[in-house]
Chains A and B, each alone.
Chain A
């Protein structure tokens, strides 16, 4: 059996890469993808943590996360489309109007 700590390390790395992507990339689509990476890392922790004592609960929680991620993507992509219609760009830096 692979120790759970290994899964946690992989998950931490995935989450870290997600943060790096979210902060460095300016393309809103890629930023969304980075959020998905972070959600995936969370799922991995749920399942790995639940492996030994209540495996079914880990899967159930991960299912909730996937459902929320699907909802987030639906709204997020609709926003990106609306943004593109308005600005002809999906760069996050091009949307600064609210800034004084």
Chain B
């Protein structure tokens, strides 16, 4: 079968090419489709990290639900129009910001010897199977779990309120 390294290279290439195209495509439908590709690539990377559960959830939630919603809105608004070029100042600034982030994040790690050496995995640690993750969610991360559920509820109420067509007698 695939060696882990090959799988890593293939999946990260998919993720990065997808991401680059999201940024550069003029047509929002094409951008959305490339984003789906990028998400699938990242899901593959999760698989190579031994997090198959997260990979499947990534495909289901991101590619299957969130991006379908995006596509739905794009089609609903019929947005085939190409947009004008962005501001040149913003463009330059963004590249600077991107490179700065890259340097900030990647450089110290690439230099640290511990990370460059093959780390010794702790085999006693609970693996990322559904049972272990669920245990964590209901014990160690119980509070964030509740907060996130509250957030989802609030988001749902907010989304319904925002998307509601205002009544005639109501000002916008």
Contact = CB atoms under 8 A, between A and B. Distances in A.
Chains A and B touch each other in the complex, with CB atoms below 8 Å apart: yes
Interface residues of A, number: 74
Contacts of A77: 69-70, 73, 159
A58 B128 contact: yes
A27 B160 CA distance: 23
Contact of B54 (A63, A80, A90): A63
Interface residues on B, range: 35 or more
Contacts of A13: 16, 19, 102
- Looking at chain B's contact residues, the main secondary structure is helix
B19 A17 contact: yes
B101 A15 contact: yes
Contact of A5 (B35, B45, B109): B109
Given A2-B8, A36-B62, A78-B162, A47 B99 contact: no
A52 B35 CA distance: 29
Contacts of B106: 5, 8-9, 12
Interface string B138-149: 001100110010
Interface string B156-172: 10111111010000001
Most B CB atoms within 10 A — which of A1, A19, A43, A79? A19
Nearest to B131: A56
Looking at chain A's contact residues, is the secondary structure mostly helix, strand, loop, or mixed? helix
Of A7, A10, A62, A72, most buried by chain B (CB within 10 Å of CB) is A10
Contact of A51 (B8, B65, B97, B121): B121
A87 to B, nearest CB: 11
Contacts of B98: 16-17, 19-20
Nearest to A57: B136
A37 B19 contact: yes
A34 B23 contact: yes
A53 B137 contact: no
Interface in A32-81: 32-34, 36-37, 40, 43-44, 47-48, 51-64, 66-75, 77-81
Given A51-B50, A77-B73, A78-B163, A63 B121 contact: no
A4 B112 CA distance: 11
A63 B137 contact: yes
A56 B132 contact: yes
Most buried by B among A3, A17, A59, A91: A59
6 contacts: A10-B15, A21-B22, A24-B90, A29-B74, A68-B148, A78-B161
8 tightest A-B contacts by CB? A23-B94, A71-B155, A16-B98, A78-B162, A21-B23, A56-B132, A55-B128, A78-B159
